Amino acid sequence: MNTSFKTVGLIGKYKSPEIAGPLLKLGEFLARRGVTVLVDTLTAANIGESGYPVLALEEIGQQADLAIVIGGDGTMLNIARTLAPFDVALVGVNQGRLGFLTDISIDTMFETIGSILDGSYVTEERMLLKAEVISSERTVFDVLAFNDAVVTKGIKGSMIEFEVKIDGKHLYTLRSDGFIVATPTGSTAYALSAGGPVVHPSLSVMSLVPICPHTFSSRPVVISSDSVVEIAISSAANARAHFDSHSRFDLRDRDRVIVRRYEHTIRLLHPVGHDYYNMLRGKLHWTESY
């Protein structure tokens, strides 16, 4: 076998027993190709005895050349954050409709993954965000985000007030329902719903998108990924910071959320012929007539 992927980690959607069949079949396919197969701990709990070594995600990151994620974009987001420091290539297999990140159909995964093992694939680097919450001049929370870091109003429903700085320079002071700092990957998630731009994933930028601002003049801004964004809370009103809708932290007055580019990237592998614009047309229904 002529492939640079000698060890492959298999990771399935959490608490989804239906992935057992496809994942085990994929493991058999890889083993026949002479690949060493590893299964992560949570996946193993869903699929039962597989005969493959079972490791924690961090251990898979240390040992695997490639990780194949079976699930959806949410699963890929979770796995990518954990494996980002290890420079493991990622492939996404979607159980249902093709996703923005998991673009291989489960019906064609053997053919497509076989081609990838043969060296026929397209590589795409995706950036992540590193965010921290500073309270009373102490870092009280830090996390990675693949899509976005979001500050939103709390359960009271009142607008929150905050100042946004870029590299220490004042951008604007807002009263709004919240604020989004999005990667190019996250530009098609919450940021898109809030009126932000679609950003090609090859670009090294961050999108700053106000959520329902009190004034129409507060517009989305696209900045370099080398910048540092600071969101300083003036009036929290039960504000909360969310990161990929996965991690969260309740904010208080005078807390600051600092967002910058994470030093490592995610390396996604796509089938040859992968067309980002074609995927956009399909996912966003741009080809439909009304």
Q: State the catalytic residues.
A: 73
Backbone angles phi, psi at 178, to 5 degrees: 160, -165
Q: Answer for the pair 8, 37: CB distance below 8 angstroms, yes or no.
A: yes
Tell me, letter by letter, the H, E, C secondary structure of 122-143.
Answer: EEEEEEEEEEEEEECCEEEEEE
Query: How far is CA 266 from each of CA 7, 184, 270, rounded to the nearest angstrom?
Result: 18, 12, 13
3-class secondary structure, 263: strand
Of the candidates 245, 242, 194, 259, the residue with the CA atom closest to the CA atom of residue 73: 245
Q: Residue 73: which of 110, 41, 102 has the closest Cα?
A: 102
Residues 6+ apart with CB under 8 A from 163: 170, 172, 173, 174, 230, 231, 232, 234
Cα 40 from chain centre: 19
DSSP 167-182: TTEEEEEEEESEEEEE
Output the CA–CA distances (angstroms, integers) from residue 203 to 120, 127, 148, 223, in the order listed. 24, 9, 15, 11
Which residues face 249 on adjacent strands?
241
Alpha-carbon distance of 193 to 211, in angstroms, equals 9
Do the Cβ atoms of 75 and 254 come closer than 8 Å?
no
